[in-house]
Amino acid sequence: MLNGIGVFQLASTRMSYETAGLRVVARNIANADTPGFRGTAVVPFAETMRRQHQDGGDFSAKATRAGHTAAAGRSSDGGLRTEPADVLEEAPNGNTVTLEDEMIQAARLRGGHALAAVTFEKNLELMRMAVTAQG
Residue 37's pLDDT is: 92
CA 65 to each of CA 17, 68, 69, 72, 128: distance values in angstroms, whole numbers, following the listed order: 20, 6, 9, 10, 39
Average pLDDT over residues 81-100: 81
User: 42 has which bridge partners?
Assistant: 82
pLDDT at 70 over 70: no
pLDDT at 27 over 90: yes
| Average pLDDT of the chain to the nearest whole number | 76
Beta-carbon count within 10 A of 39 CB? 23
Q: Looking at the whole model, is its pTM more than 0.75?
A: no
Residues contacting residue 41 through CB under 8 Å, at least 6 positions apart: 24, 82, 83, 84, 85, 86, 105
> How far is the C-alpha of 12 from the C-alpha of 18, rounded, in Å?
10
Domain boundaries, the chain: 2-132
pLDDT at 38 over 80: yes
Higher pLDDT, 49 or 41: 41
